[in-house]
Amino acid sequence: MTAAPLSRFSRLRTTLAALGLGCFCAWSQAEITAIVAVEPTAKKAAHTILRNQMEASLGKAAGQSASVTVSEDLADVMRATRSAGYDVFIGPAQVAASALDRGYELVGANHKSQKYVLVATSATGTVGTLKGGRLYLPQQDSIYTYMARGMLNEAGLSLKDLKRVQYEKYPQAGLTALLLGATDATVVREDDWIEWSAAQPKVAKVLASSQPVPGGFTVVVKKELPAELRNRVAQWFAASSESSGLAPATLRPEAAQYKRVAELGLFTPVALPDVQKVNAKEAQQLQGQGALLVDTRTEKEFHAKRMKGAVWAPYIEKSLKDVAFDPAADDFSALDKLPAKPLVFACNGAECWKSYKAAKWAAGKGLKNVYWLRGGLPEWAAEGLPTEKD
Domain total in the chain? 3
Domain-ending residue, one of 190, 210, 230:
210
Residue 72 confidence (pLDDT) = 86
CATH number for 122 = 3.40.190.10
154 and 107 in a common domain: no
Residue 219 confidence (pLDDT) = 98
Residue 321 confidence (pLDDT) = 77
Domain range for 328 is 276-388
Residue 1 confidence (pLDDT) = 39
**CA–CA dist 64, 45 (Å, integer):** 26
**CA–CA dist 18, 203 (Å, integer):** 71
Long-range contacts of 195-202 (CB under 8 A, 24+ apart): 196/172, 200/175, 202/122
Q: Taking Cα atoms as reference points, which of 297, 341, 290 lies closest to residue 315?
A: 297
Which residues is 204 bridged to in the sheet?
Answer: 121
Beta-carbon contacts of residue 338 (< 8 Å; ≥ 6 apart): 292, 294, 311, 313
**CA–CA dist 132, 137 (Å, integer):** 16
Residue 56 confidence (pLDDT) = 96
The answer to whether residue 270 sits within a structural domain is no
123 and 106 in a common domain: no
The answer to whether residue 269 sits within a structural domain is no
219 and 105 in a common domain: yes
Residue 132 confidence (pLDDT) = 95
384 and 281 in a common domain: yes
Instruction: Kindly report whether the global pTM for this prediction surpasses the value 0.75.
Output: no
Beta carbons of 257 and 213 less than 8 angstroms apart? yes
Taking only the tens of pLDDT, the chain with its 390 residues reads: 334 444 444 454 444 444 444 444 444 448 999 999 988 666 666 667 899 999 999 999 999 999 999 998 888 999 899 899 999 999 999 999 999 999 999 999 999 999 999 999 999 999 989 999 999 998 777 889 889 988 887 776 788 889 999 988 777 889 999 999 999 999 999 999 999 999 999 899 999 999 899 999 999 999 999 999 999 999 999 999 999 999 999 999 999 999 888 877 567 877 788 899 999 999 999 999 999 999 999 999 999 999 999 999 988 888 877 777 889 999 999 998 999 899 999 999 987 889 999 999 999 999 989 999 999 999 999 999 999 998
The answer to whether residue 294 sits within a structural domain is yes
**CA–CA dist 267, 381 (Å, integer):** 20
258 and 329 in a common domain: no
